[in-house]
């Protein structure tokens, strides 16, 4: 199960979606919203996305993680997002298409005062059309045995 490929796919980043996501965070940085403010060329040129925006197109990878939970017989009802980590090579840009690959990176359990916790770690990497890595994400999902 560890190392299993969960999903592959592409996502095209729409400026309108970046705008909606930024507004939902109450983050009105013009670099996310206004093409006139958004600088020219270069790795950070044009409209770019805020740092946590990748979560908005990782639903697919997360859904694969839910299936893994069910398959392992883990408790879906107590499932929570426990940790999130990103590594960035550059910001995500409006208009680009990213190739996403999701994997099960780790599965483990810990025992504590509230009982046994099951952990599933999902990793997603995003590459641009040149094949360059844009960001890497690691989601840790946790459920408590009941």
Residues that bind another protein (CB under 8 A): 17, 20-21, 23-27, 29, 31, 43-44, 48, 50-52, 55-57, 59, 77, 80-88, 90-91, 138
Residue with Cβ nearer another protein (51 or 115): 51
Residue with Cβ nearer another protein (87 or 109): 87
The CB-of-52 to another protein minimum distance in angstroms stands at 5
Distance CA 110, CA 126 (A): 30
Q: Copy the structure tokens of residue 42.
A: 């270069």
């Amino acid at each position: 199960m560890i190392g299993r490929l969960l999903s592959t796919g592409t996502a095209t980043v729409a400026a309108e979606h970046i705008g909606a996501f930024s507004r939902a965070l109450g983050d009105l940085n013009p670099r996310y919203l206004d093409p006139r403010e958004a600088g020219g060329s270069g790795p950070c040129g044009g409209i770019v996305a805020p740092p946590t925006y990748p979560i908005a197109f990782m639903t697919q990878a997360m859904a694969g993680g839910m299936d893994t939970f069910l398959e392992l017989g883990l408790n879906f009802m107590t499932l929570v997002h426990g940790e999130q980590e990103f590594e960035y090579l550059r910001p995500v840009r409006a208009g680009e298409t990213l190739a996403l690959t999701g994997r099960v990176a780790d599965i483990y359990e810990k025992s504590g005062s509230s009982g046994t916790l099951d952990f599933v770690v999902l990793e997603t990497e995003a590459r641009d059309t040149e094949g360059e890595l844009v960001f890497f994400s690691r989601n840790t999902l946790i459920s408590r045995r009941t």
